[in-house]
A and B are shown apart, each in its own frame.
Chain A
Amino acid sequence: MARFLLKRTAFALITLVLLSMIVFATAQLLPGNVGRNVLGGFADQRSVDLLNHQLGVDRPVYVQYGRWVGHLVHGDLGQSLEYKVSVSSLLGPALLNSLKLAALAFVLVVPLSILGGIVAALRQARTTDRVITVGGLSLTAVPEFVTAIVLIVIFGVAFKVLPTTAQAPPGAGFFTQVEYLLLPAFALVAVLFGYIARITRAGVIEALDADYTRTAFLKGLDTPTILRRHVLRNALLPTIAVVATQTGYLIGGLVVIETLFNYPGIGQRILIAAQNKDFTMLEAGVLIVGIVYLAATLIADTLYSLLNPRIRYGAAD
């Protein structure tokens, strides 16, 4: 098991290095000039060149990359080119905000959709199954901005039971923060429920049909025990993989939800950095989201292997 984890971690680190190169190279590809963008259209070329020199962006790309990585390993993400403050002072709170929203969405959607999937599988081809699968799929098919607007209009504007913006006033307690995050979390639940529930349903149906399940029934075990010990343990494997990949999306990919609910998360920071060519912020933001993705995948792999000895032993061979 330790060896398996070590191997996975090593792979994650290699991926991270590759990711940092891709992020850096992509930012270089964006059109426009850093100094010009900071100083504005009226600045003369000399001061633009001077600033570019001071920022070091006139040096060869590999030198810039080396410097950037050097600062990164010392925990220095650099200065935002546009706002002239440290990137970590902006991305830190943004990441925290994103984690809060993701956590709430996760807590709501995972049990709900797994339960939905199991119920649908057990009532296969009956009305309950149809309602869950068709309803879930319809919700997933509706774009998140439509779901979000509908939720805002109904709960925020018409009935005024929940705030339309996701950011709680400063100093708000835990429950107030949850209250502010409920609408965007519901919007995310709507996006993810159908997908996760379907995967769970398929896994459960497959496990119910499996020989070992039939054997378990035949040897007289009661249904809850069979479900718990034989069906779910096998059925949830694909679900875990899916949930893990969605975690990355929940933290770094919520630009639309964050914009509509005016929530200062990391997705919005990255978007604005890309629009304003704020390279340092853009690179650090994408890298952080990448790390979150990798961490989520690593955790999922570990869980997967705990539930499935075949992976563990296969890796140890």
Chain B
Amino acid sequence: MDRETRREFEAYRRIEAGPVENTLIDELLDGEVDRKEFFRRATLFGLSASAIAGALAALGEAPIAFAAPEAVRAGGRLRVAIIPPPTKSLDPHTYADQGGLETGGIAGEFLTRATQSLTLLPELATSWKPNARASSWTFKLRPNVKFQNGKTMTADDVVATYKRLLGPDSGALSAFKGVLSASGIKKIDNLTVRFDLDTPTASFPYLTSSTTYQAIILPANYQNGTFEKTPQTTGAFQLTSYTPGVGAKYDRFPGWWNGRPPLDGVDVTYYSDDAAVTAALLGGQVDLIGQVQFATARPLFSNPNVQIFATRGATHRQVPMRVDLHNQLSDRRVRQAIALTLDRPRIIKTLFDNRADIGNDSPFAPVYPSTNKTVAQRHKDLRLAKQLMAAAGFSRGFAITLTTEKTGEIPQLAQIIQQSVKAIGIKMTLKILTATAYFAGSQTGGPGGLGNTPWLNTPMNITDWGHRAVPNVLLNSALQTGGVWNAAHYSNKRYDALVKSYTGAIALKDQLKYSKQIETILLRDTPVIFPYFYNYLAAGSKRVKGYKADALGQVYLSKTSLG
């Protein structure tokens, strides 16, 4: 680095950079994080491109090079298959299913966008900056962004959108509960919004990204029930027609702030059957399927005319075991024993042809940088499992029912678990419901506080969970005392305190310190088995260019073209 650059960089550290930024830069200089991880964390904390370049130069690293964009053929309409269709009306803040998030996400945009490598890109926000404790975050908004109804986006629209996300009918409450309250959302000026958080949260910008799929920015005067009828998002495409359960049409939005997307438009067809959607791609009726599963769409994986878009992520299944029912499962040795019967490498080979990571019975997926990989992986160990069962007084086993939903590979996983626990004498009955029946009922109130819905109240079950860019929602909602999705009814004060420390930790080495303790506690208590985290898969014909699968399933098409 020449003297001039060094002087500018030192000045930046002294004057502009706050404690958070300097912590990041120290981590890089001390060799605690590598270049890739530094880049990810720098985008999270909103460091400017020049600050990132300066820090990399200070370490003698080559500056970041951005690849020249591929020359694309403009024009054409992309035919996208979405499976399954949205089951409700399309108000973004209420999204709770894959069909809804994919349909809305084609037209909608967020303050920030999470990429495949878990970095954050500015979208409707241009920059963001925390205070020293990461308890308050200031977002600068992009000027001159037009909504598709002609209005220009201002801080009022962002404030109204976030207040809507905290309302009673929001689908994003699990993400924001305990993090953000309506009174903490403040307009500073026309293009600045500040979020004063309930708890210091170092990963807060992720909650404003495309991974909180309900957080599509809408005009302040948005009326419920109008998403289907009037285009009013900011994205590259506007929704021009929608027929529930049948399809949707999008046209290029000429007023898009980021120029002109290659495609003229997008035609979505909804499917509800795996065989039908597979045949549609193979038969040339669609160009792209938003989500495919290895277990149910095998013909696609061996066809030379199909490209599979894979993204490593944290999509997973949880097998919660209720700790509070005064049955065999309330003994943690029994829960450990059940977890020890699973041959995880074989499971991911069978169910995903190895397009998955093995889970270690905590939400810390291998894909997260904050996952502490020094904690030993749990392997199949029948001898230990039998010892634990004997010590718990159940050497002759017992009978139990596992309830679950008919979604993707879950019924097959249920059968594998049923077969595996036979080895320690457990006779498992499977009760496989439709997804609708499994998630039906209330999730609040009732004796356990979690309503009467099967997925939160059965002794043992399997539930599908989507990807998150950081494990916070999983740590909070699924495992904390009183968590809204705590299906195991798990409660451990030490765990709760550690999660709080982890959430507020800014330096990676602090996060790793806490994650190690959290992982260890969860392995000991095993309230939930996390057998695997699988790759998000999409499939398309060879004509589709410039598409990347998103780990959560967003269908982002502004760079996609038809070759």
Contacts and interface: CB of A to CB of B under 8 A. Distances in A.
Contact of A42 (B89, B272, B284, B443): B443
B272 A82 contact: no
Contact of A41 (B272, B284, B441): B441
Nearest to A48: B442
Contacts, number: 112
Given A40-B96, A44-B444, A276 B283 contact: no
A156 B283 contact: yes
B202 interface: no
Interface residues of A, number: 40
Contacts of A165: 269, 276, 279-280, 283, 285
Interface stretch (B112-120, B185-193, B432-440): B432-440
Contact of B173 (A42, A47, A260): A42
B484 interface: yes
A41 B442 contact: yes
A160 B282 CA distance: 9
A80 B96 CA distance: 19
B502 to A, nearest CB: 25
A83 B173 contact: no
A262 interface: yes
Interface string B138-168: 0000000000000000000000000000001
B441 A32 contact: yes
Interface in A241-261: 259-261
A264 B434 contact: no
Interface string B190-225: 000000000000000000000000000000000001
B254 interface: no
Contacts of A149: 275
B271 interface: yes
Contact of A39 (B169, B277, B285): B169
Contacts of B442: 36, 41, 43, 45, 48
B269 to A, nearest CB: 7
With most chain A CB atoms within 10 A of its CB, the pick from B270, B272, B442 is: B442
B445 interface: yes
A276 B87 contact: yes
Given A83-B88, A276-B87, A262 B280 contact: yes
Contacts of A80: 244
B273 interface: yes
A181 to B, nearest CB: 14
Interface stretch (A98-106, A134-142, A267-275): A267-275
A163 B276 CA distance: 11
Given A83-B88, A160-B284, A262-B277, A43 B168 contact: yes
A260 B273 contact: yes
B285 A164 contact: yes
A153 B243 CA distance: 28
Contacts of B277: 262
B453 interface: yes
Contact of A262 (B87, B171, B276): B276
B168 A262 contact: no
A14 interface: no
B345 interface: no
Interface string A117-143: 000000000000000000000000000
A156 B273 CA distance: 16
B269 A167 contact: yes
Contact of B279 (A39, A84, A152, A269): A152
Contact of B434 (A84, A164, A275): A275
Interface in A1-23: none
B546 interface: no
A90 interface: yes
A234 interface: no
A52 to B, nearest CB: 13
A152 B283 contact: yes
A82 B88 contact: yes
Contacts of A276: 87, 436
Contacts of A36: 440-442
Contacts of A268: 245, 272
A156 B277 CA distance: 12
Interface string A93-121: 10000000000000000000000000000
Nearest to A84: B89
With most chain A CB atoms within 10 A of its CB, the pick from B228, B246, B270, B436 is: B246
Interface string A73-101: 00000001011110000100100000000
A213 interface: no
B451 interface: yes
Contacts of A272: 87, 245, 272
B136 to A, nearest CB: 27
Given A152-B283, A261-B276, 14 more contacts: A32-B441, A41-B444, A42-B168, A42-B444, A42-B484, A85-B228, A85-B244, A90-B243, A93-B243, A149-B275, A164-B280, A262-B276, A264-B246, A276-B87
7 contacts: A37-B440, A44-B168, A85-B89, A93-B246, A149-B275, A157-B283, A165-B279
Q: Across chains A and B, which 8 residue pairs bring their CB atoms closest together, nearest first?
A: A41-B443, A164-B283, A156-B283, A164-B279, A83-B244, A157-B282, A264-B246, A84-B89
